[in-house]
Amino acid sequence: MKREYPDAPVVAVGVIIRRDDRILLIRRAKEPAKGLWTFPGGAVELGESLREAARREALEETGLHVTVGEIATVFEKVRRDEKGRVLYHYVIIDYFAEPLGGKLRPGDDVDDARWFRLAELDAVKITPLAEKIARNLLSPPVQQSIYLGPTGQPPSSTQHTAVEGSNGVGKEGDPA
């Protein structure tokens, strides 16, 4: 199936490989996204399962053998030319994966492959979705606090407080 000006969307996979406090990114050597950092990945070949494609793409683009985990995200990329015709149309399924072995090296349509820590992401041009995912995965967890009322319980959305008068009715006519 042709990639430029396709007759139908191209199904592709991406592989999100994380190790400790680092995430693996590759820099594309070809369009689309030439020169940008993103996750390894590419088109699914005829007769190949999605997970097989993810393993193959990880190996081809990074030199690493991986175990493919759960689906991380599904999205599409449509790029049109100056006349409005569809130049590229990909439906992409990104998987989480863990490295099993191999030697990191850039592969066929990649000109670099590197592990990045959170602070290092600012120094490279990265695709918006890959940046969002990488920052989310590498950022420390955010602790949320919950206000506990004077009873030690979270306030209920059905609780109302009388605001005016002694008739048990608040400003908005809600029962107190």
pLDDT digits (tens, 9 = 90+) for 107-125: 978 999 999 999 999 999 9
Q: Model's pTM, two decimal places?
A: 0.77
Amino acid letter for position 35:
G
Give CA–CA dist 3/28, Å, rounded.
15
Domain architecture of the chain: domains with CATH:
10-137 (3.90.79.10)
Give CA–CA dist 33/14, Å, rounded.
14
Give CA–CA dist 109/42, Å, rounded.
10
Phi–psi pair at 62, nearest 5 degrees = -130, -15
- Retrieve residue 60's tokens: 């081809």
Q: How far is CA 26 from CA 7, 31, 139, in A?
A: 28, 13, 20
Give CA–CA dist 51/57, Å, rounded.
10
Report the mean per-residue pLDDT for the chain. 86
Per-residue pLDDT reduced to its tens digit, 123-167: 999 999 999 999 999 998 876 666 666 666 655 554 443 443 444
Per-residue pLDDT reduced to its tens digit, 10-66: 999 999 999 999 999 999 999 888 999 999 999 999 999 999 999 999 999 999 999
How large is the greatest C-alpha to C-alpha distance in the chain, in angstroms?
78
Classify residue 33 by its DSSP letter.
Answer: S
Q: Is 133 helix (H, G, I), strand (E, B) or coil?
A: helix
- Retrieve residue 95's tokens: 């998987």
**Residue 60 burial (10 A CB sphere; 0-12, 13-18, 19+):** middle
| CA-based nearest residue to 102, from 17, 43, 35 | 17
